[in-house]
Structure 1
Amino acid sequence: MRPFLPPLRLLAVFDAVTRLGSTQRAASDLNVTQPAISQAVKALEDYVGFRLFDRSTRPISLTPAGEILRSGVVEGFDRISSAIERGRSLHSSSDNAVTVACTVGTATYWLMPRVAEFYQEFPEIAVNVLTTVGSPDFIPGVDLLIRYGIGNWNDGAGIKLFDEKVVPVFSPALAQRITSKDTLQAATLLHVVSSDATWLTWRDYFQMTGLPQNLSQGRVFSNYVQATQAALSGQGVMLGWESNTGDLVREGRLLALADAEVFPKEAFYLLRAASAQSHASTLFTDWIKDRVLVEANL
């Protein structure tokens, strides 16, 4: 084992508690008792030498040091998951399988629902989805990328999927409090920390719309999936990207603030590796292009 690293089981418990929001839900997810979860958290705190949770609040919240560890654990687990998926892709039939890489948020809220539709038409094709913390790159075994930007890449043949739209979104439970752009000044904002310079932040949004900055601390998350779950549970207002929250808004699970959209210059693109010439790669590429066209005309 590398020096100073705690046992993996303790990190898994910590990840479950921070991801699910409580020791009770983490216990259910890991199929152990709640006291076992609490003991594991205490053991991890003893191992690393600092407190991970502020237990004076209800529900408990992460300390600043705990936030730092959570970010590292999430990234580490994502890398392990990616490595496993890459290994699996090397053993898949190249003609009947295609591997698509994209961010966790794009995979969860945009790609996977459409993969389910693809399987209804082509059950014989395996679509392996590889998630990344940041913008995906081509690595051995990856056929296609879904990447956000201005399209000026030279590592694959790219086609534009759709333009992006960003709008504040929130749970219907907050509908009486979030009624206009002016009400954002007093709202609890949900922030996503990202090293990607193209990622639109709340500060960017207020500058683009000419609104005063909301200087309250809000709540900070290390990835878009966590922030989305917080929005769904009514914890605050997040910046909803069409690619990630569009379906949730159309389903009524989230509400979009009226007349509050901004349109970044970046868009989503599908890139195909030069080596990706299999039947599965071609079939999935053509299908996703057609699906996007259909959705644009709805």
Structure 2
Amino acid sequence: MTRRVLLLLFAVLLLGGVGTTAVLNASANAGQREHQQAGGPAVRNGNLTLRPPSGRELVFRNMTWGPYRDDLVTVPADRPDAPRTASGVKCLRFYAASGTGVCLQAEHGTLGDSYQAVILDAGLRELHRFPLAGIPTRARVSPDGRLAAWTVFVGGDSYAGTNFSTRTSIVDTRTWKLDDNLETFTIIKDGHPYRASDINVWGVTFADDDRFYATVATGGQTYLVQGSLSARTLTTLHQNVECPSLSPDGTRIAYKKRVPGASPDAPWRLYVLDLRTMTETATAEHRNIDDQAVWSDDSTLVYALPGNYGTDLWTVPADGTGAARLLTKAALAPAYLQAN
């Protein structure tokens, strides 16, 4: 079986089995019975909030087979292998910050699957939902919780090749103003307005203000762009950057980079870009990374790799030192939650 076929099967596994019937069924949280799922991490029912009462928590999509598969679950950030608290909310992709969550979910119908972006409050109650034009792949929330972004595949199902099309949207959760397609923004490339028919935008990461960063692909190349919502512009900063993730202190971008000599079906390695000097640093993770990494703090990255249950979460220092290590098994789409 070819590596490309394996990647496609992996994508199908990640997208399967999530319906909307239980997605917002928070009433299922009663009780504290612990359940061991097919030999995987222990999971128990409980109350999940995006504003933990104390300490710091890690929330992610639970990938273990069993009744809690695809649930959002939480664990203490300093004890990632502790028993997981399940929410009853199921997502394909998820992210949260400052009490706002974005949950990308599937609805399985007789005429095929459809997809939704659901904005959640701190208690995981639905605030608003938006229909999606394709298969969910990336999600982010701004540090202040005001903005949410998502990317979907509207053609193709893998970033590895060139035969795919994406759509990326940003919504203001105060006004519900939706920028449905960032491809309509003005692109400034090498200091000049740029137009092309092959533009794709994906992988938003937010700064603390009007700015955000994303990937723009055109002409067979990918670029890190700095976006402005008010000016509706995307300005190129650096080449060969995909799925950027801004550090908490706003000084560095973690991203996947295509490296020479790698397999066309597994072309990426995890790098960090200093935004002041534009210096690139390769991390100590030498495997193929097809994920938008998350910063657990200003010095450490978290990302998904294939595992026995679909995906596991791994971690590596951002400065190129150390070694990659397993953070927790059977997990995807992590976000860190901080007490008020």
Query: Under a length normalisation based on structure 1, what TM-score does the superposition of the two structures give?
Result: 0.30
- Higher relative contact order (Cα pairs below 8 Å, separated by 6+ residues): 1
Query: Under a length normalisation based on structure 2, what TM-score does the superposition of the two structures give?
Result: 0.28
Structure showing greater Rg: 1
Structure having the larger proportion of residues in strand:
2
